[in-house]
């Protein structure tokens, strides 16, 4: 059984590598068609070319595995996470992790069908990791937003233009926000208007706070007004929101600690029982039914942790 699983995994990995690097997928006619498409694409505006690339579906042997809309959403999420992967590489990563989880399940669990049921867990685990990375990066940039607004306001009062103030701020603010500002400045240097570059920045970040700031800047550029004063007012609003969030975190700290304690009690009891009676507790690791029970306990722990986090995280 293990030999069959190993051979199947090896064959699948080989096909996956060949598909990923594009071996055996080119012919004279196909190359000519691709050359014509590239010539036509080169004549399109940069924004249109980027949109077309984002909407490219993931295909294998002429079969569409992932639709263009899903691939576009993946590309957007990868961009927001600060990763250089494309939709095809991300799909490959999720498939590889799913196969590894299924292989470990077949080896460790008593029934192979139960091991194959771990494949969806590996698939969704990669998606969960991507969402967590997006959330972490977004939290860092939102924490830098007030500082950015203050720098822009000071630069505008000193006589700088908006792009000059953004360039000066990008030199002082650390990553990841400085990376996005430099990308916006690069877009304007490549011929995009300020409005288009700011809208692209808003789409890349996907934050309500940044949406408020960019919308205020775009309205000011349309109807006029004191942009420095507008940015000061927005910064004041952001600081008040952070103060309220801090108060909420203080009020819910006991509930979060309770969740951590409840989640850690089963693990602590397992360790204690293993120290007191290793022969009795060892059945959980050696007996097939014991391993199945441990897996169910682990899944329940994860679900309980996520539910508690959902309860104590209050949006402001």
Average of per-residue pLDDT values in the chain: 81
Q: Mapped to the 3 state alphabet, what secondary structure does the chain carry?
A: CHHHHHHHHHHHHHHHHHHHHCCCCCCHHHHHHHHHHHHHHHCCCHHHHHHHHHCCCEEECCEEEECHHHHHHHHHHHHHCCCCCCHHHHHHHHHHHHHHHHHHHHHHCCCHHHHHCCHHHHHHHHHHHHHHHHHHHHHHHHHHHHHHHHHHHHHHHCCCCHHHHHHHHHHHCCCCHHHHHHHHHHHHHCCCCHHHHHHHHHHHHCCHHHHHHHHHHHHHHHHCCCHHHHHHHHHHHHHHHHHHHHHHHHHCHHHHHHHHHHHHHHHHHHHHHHHHCHHHHCHHHHCHHHHHHHHHHHHHHHHHHHHHHHHHCCCC
Domains and CATH numbers, the chain: 2-117 (no CATH), 136-243 (1.20.81.30), 252-312 (no CATH)
Residue 159 has pLDDT above 60, yes or no: yes
CA distance 71 to 58: 7
The pLDDT of residue 7 is 46
Contacts of 239 (CB under 8 A, 6+ apart): 146
Contact 217, 198 (CB under 8 A): yes
Which pLDDT tens digit goes with each residue over 107-137?
Answer: 877 777 777 888 888 899 999 999 999 999 9
The pLDDT of residue 25 is 41
The pLDDT of residue 42 is 52
Which pLDDT tens digit goes with each residue over 205-235?
Answer: 988 889 999 999 999 988 988 999 999 999 9
Which pLDDT tens digit goes with each residue over 46-99?
Answer: 555 555 554 567 776 567 778 878 888 898 999 999 888 888 899 999 999 999
The pLDDT of residue 26 is 42
Top pLDDT among 27 and 260 is at 260
Which pLDDT tens digit goes with each residue over 9-40?
Answer: 554 555 554 444 444 444 455 455 555 555 55
Contacts of 116 (CB under 8 A, 6+ apart): 102, 105, 106
The pLDDT of residue 68 is 78
The pLDDT of residue 219 is 92
Contact 184, 169 (CB under 8 A): no
Token digits of residue 37: 């498409």
The pLDDT of residue 279 is 85
pTM of the model: 0.68
Which pLDDT tens digit goes with each residue over 295-316?
Answer: 888 888 888 888 887 887 776 6
């Amino acid at each position: 059984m293990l030999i069959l699983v190993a051979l199947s995994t090896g064959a699948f990995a080989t096909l996956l590598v060949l598909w990923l690097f594009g071996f055996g997928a080119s012919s004279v006619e196909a190359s000519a068609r691709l050359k014509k498409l590239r010539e036509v694409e080169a004549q399109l505006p940069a924004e249109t070319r980027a949109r077309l690339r984002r909407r490219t579906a993931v295909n294998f042997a002429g079969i569409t595995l992932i639709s263009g809309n899903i691939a576009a959403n993946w590309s957007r999420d990868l961009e927001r996470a600060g990763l250089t992967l494309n939709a095809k590489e991300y799909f490959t990563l999720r498939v590889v992790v799913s196969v590894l989880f299924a292989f470990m399940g077949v080896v460790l669990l008593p029934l192979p069908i139960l091991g194959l049921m771990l494949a969806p867990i590996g698939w969704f685990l990669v998606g969960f990791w991507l969402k967590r990375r997006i959330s972490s990066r977004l939290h860092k940039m939102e924490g830098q937003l007030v500082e950015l607004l203050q720098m822009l306001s000071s630069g505008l009062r000193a006589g700088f233009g908006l792009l000059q103030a953004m360039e000066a701020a990008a030199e002082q603010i650390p990553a990841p926000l400085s990376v996005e500002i430099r990308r916006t400045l690069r877009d304007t240097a490549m011929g995009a208007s300020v409005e288009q570059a700011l809208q692209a920045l808003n789409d890349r970040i996907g934050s309500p706070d940044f949406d408020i700031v960019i919308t205020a800047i775009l309205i000011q550029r349309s109807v006029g007004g004191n942009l420095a004063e507008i940015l000061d007012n927005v910064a004041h609003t952001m600081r008040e929101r952070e103060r309220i969030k801090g108060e909420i975190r203080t009020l819910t700290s006991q509930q979060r600690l309770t969740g951590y304690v409840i989640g850690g009690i089963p693990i602590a009891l397992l360790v204690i029982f293993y120290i007191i009676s290793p022969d009795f507790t060892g059945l959980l690791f050696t007996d097939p039914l014991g391993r199945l029970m441990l897996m169910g306990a682990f899944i329940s722990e994860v679900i309980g942790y996520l539910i508690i986090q959902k309860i104590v995280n209050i949006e402001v």
